Amino acid sequence: MADASPLRIVFAGTPDFAASSLEALVNQDYNVVAVYTQPDRPAGRGKKLHKSPVKDVAEQHDIPVYQPVNFKDEADQQVLESLDADLMIVAAYGIILPKVVLDTPKKGCINIHASLLPRWRGAAPIQRAIQAGDTETGITIMQMDVGLDTGNMLWKKKTPIKPDDNGGSLHDRLARLGAEAMLEALEQLTSDHPSSQLTNEKQDDQLAIYAHKLSKQDAQINWSLSAESIALTIRAFNPWPVAFSVEADERIRFFEAKVISETHNKTPGTIINKSREGIIIACGENTLSIQKLQLPGSKAMAVADFVNGGKAMLDAGTQLTSAGA
């Protein structure tokens, strides 16, 4: 427990990943004097304004909330200065902080990043780690600077990427791990003990890989790739943006698949077999067995349920459209 730490903390974050850390701070009695989150956004069919998960947590605990469009406005910078913060903790805020903001809190700004830096700097480290076939990832608590995830590394916690992990399951585990790592780092940061274990380690830029932001366009499958590569992408993009392919102008989304190591002489994207056990599709190398999918206007379902439904789609011999075709 923080025992009503005198440290004045400002928290900045937006999605569920960040909300987990804010909740942990509050539960440990840290003195969170304000929360910054992105402006409410229209969402859903009615395009009603929705507040972020971080704003929701802040309001539950009566913490003042600020929602600047960005931090370029001098008035917003002055509001932050007036909060007299010792530290700003940032997690998936989604707004680039200018140097004047980074320099405002007495101890600067620290970031909760969902990768083992310097690998996977950028917007989508969780999904890109799975997509690349990494077997390990984790959380890095980093002292922020003006670069994109380039600051010195203070604290790390690791977790394996399991064979059955997808983007959703790994996100949820890293959200919990991020909160744990943040609390551990804060304990070191607020301790007067000379044997602090915070590393303040400079990143090796030569090892950096950029985790590009996800988009729906990214999610269309290129069947000329290996079955293993496609299976990894399907796992990484579940539950969003969800890997898909096209048959007769119909978009079919794929949620689960497994690699079958067998050679073939089919054009990549050709459906070789359709059964309750799986839909077998030719890839650039080996074949892929689709286990769970979603048709337009339907819910996601197991392949066995799809086949039992008798819909005349994804039959043997069908050629799926490949990305870029």
- Give the 3-state secondary structure of the chain: CCCCCCCEEEEEECCHHHHHHHHHHHHCCCEEEEEECCCCEEECCCCEEECCHHHHHHHHCCCCEECCCCCCCHHHHHHHHHCCCCEEEEECCCCCCCHHHHCCCCCCEEEEECCCCCCCEECCHHHHHHHCCCCEEEEEEEECCCCCCCCCEEEEEEEECCCCCCHHHHHHHHHHHHHHHHHHHHHHHHCCCCCCCCCCECCCHHHCCEECCCCCHHHECCCCCEHHHHHHHHHHCCCCCCEEEEECCEEEEEEEEEEECCCCCCCCCEEEEEECCEEEEECCECEEEEEEEECCCCCCEEHHHHHHHCCCCCCCCCECECCCC
Angle between helix axes 167-190 and 16-27 (nearest 10 degrees) is 40
Average pLDDT over residues 14-36: 97
% of the chain at pLDDT higher than 70: 96
> Buried b / exposed e across 278-295, counting CB within 10 Å, b at 16+?
bbbbbbebbbbbbbbbbb
pLDDT at 1: 44
Contact indicator for 112, 141 with CB cutoff of 8 Å:
yes
pLDDT at 197: 80
Average pLDDT over residues 309-320: 93
Q: How confident is the model at residue 115 (pLDDT cuts 50, 70, 90)?
A: very high
Q: How confident is the model at residue 192 (pLDDT cuts 50, 70, 90)?
A: low
pLDDT at 189: 84
pLDDT at 5: 54
Q: In angstroms, what is the C-alpha Rg of the chain?
A: 23
Q: How confident is the model at residue 172 (pLDDT cuts 50, 70, 90)?
A: very high
Average pLDDT over residues 231-249: 96
Instruction: Please check whether the domain covering 8-211 is classified as CATH 3.30.450.20.
Output: no
pLDDT at 91: 98
CA angle 253, 256, 257 (to 5 degrees): 105
pLDDT at 4: 46
Average pLDDT over residues 33-57: 91
The Cα 191–Cα 254 span in angstroms is: 49
Distances (CA, A) of 166 to 133, 155, 231: 11, 25, 10
> Is the per-residue pLDDT at 122 higher than 90?
yes
Strand partners, 260: 287
At position 154, the amino acid (one-letter code) is L
pLDDT at 279: 98
Q: Tokens in use for 31?
A: 């003195």
User: 217-309: which CATH topology?
Assistant: Methionyl-tRNA Fmet Formyltransferase; Chain A, domain 2 (3.10.25)
> Is the per-residue pLDDT at 46 higher than 90?
no
pLDDT at 312: 87
Domain boundaries, the chain: 8-211, 217-309
Contact indicator for 233, 131 with CB cutoff of 8 Å:
yes
pLDDT at 194: 58
88 CB-near residues (< 8 Å, 6+ apart): 9, 10, 11, 12, 101, 104, 105, 108, 109, 110
Query: Could you tell me which residue, 102 or 70, shows the higher pLDDT?
Result: 102
